[in-house]
Amino acid sequence: EDTDPHLDRDLGAWFSESCDLPRLTLLGPVRARTRGLALTKRKPYYTELLAYLSTRPYGATPDELADAFSLTPARARNDVKIVRDWLGTNPRTGRKHLPDAREAPAAIARGVGVYQVEDVLTDTDLFKRLRLRGEARGADGMPDLRRALTLVEGRPFDRLRPGGWSWLLEGDRLDHHLLCAVVDVAHLV
């Protein structure tokens, strides 16, 4: 419990109508709610790009991003700028939720430029954190496990953009892992 002192704060923000942080739903139909500049076109594509970055805790290099989306480096930079503006400014830090690749915390730690989102709430992250705390509490953790299940709105990564998401469907299938995690928590409850 001491390793995640902000879980209840983040849960409160997730369920708040006036949340000032971007929220990304992956446990059901994929969607994003942001506080920056509204997108006028291609929202499903930019939501996918946000999901890609949000599922990489140590960030993605510009080349990794360009490769995952079959983009030129210049196009990848332009698309990241659009997502950066769409996410807006982080009220906790005063910086963009998607900082410059050279200024991201993972970039500083790794010594190489990476795109990394900061303080974007995802239902998958909250689910994992609730599960961890619930299991750590033993029998007293049942409320956390039940709360984790309230985050689930359907099959993980549902209603994907046609022709996209190839990065999700290759290699270690995050969508399958999340489905198994939901089933495991449901069985515990």
Residues 67-87 pLDDT 10s: 999 999 999 999 999 999 999
3-state class (DSSP) for residue 122: strand
Q: How far is CA 150 from the centre of its chain?
A: 17
The neighbour count for residue 89, using CB atoms within 10 Å, is 15
pLDDT tens per residue, range 137-169:
999 999 999 999 999 999 999 999 999 999 998
- H or E element that contains 126: helix 123-136
pTM of the model: 0.94
Distance CA 75, CA 64 (A): 13
The first and second tokens of residue 180, run together, are 């198994």
**Count of CB atoms within 10 A of residue 73's CB?**
12
Nearest to 151 by CA among 186, 116, 117: 186
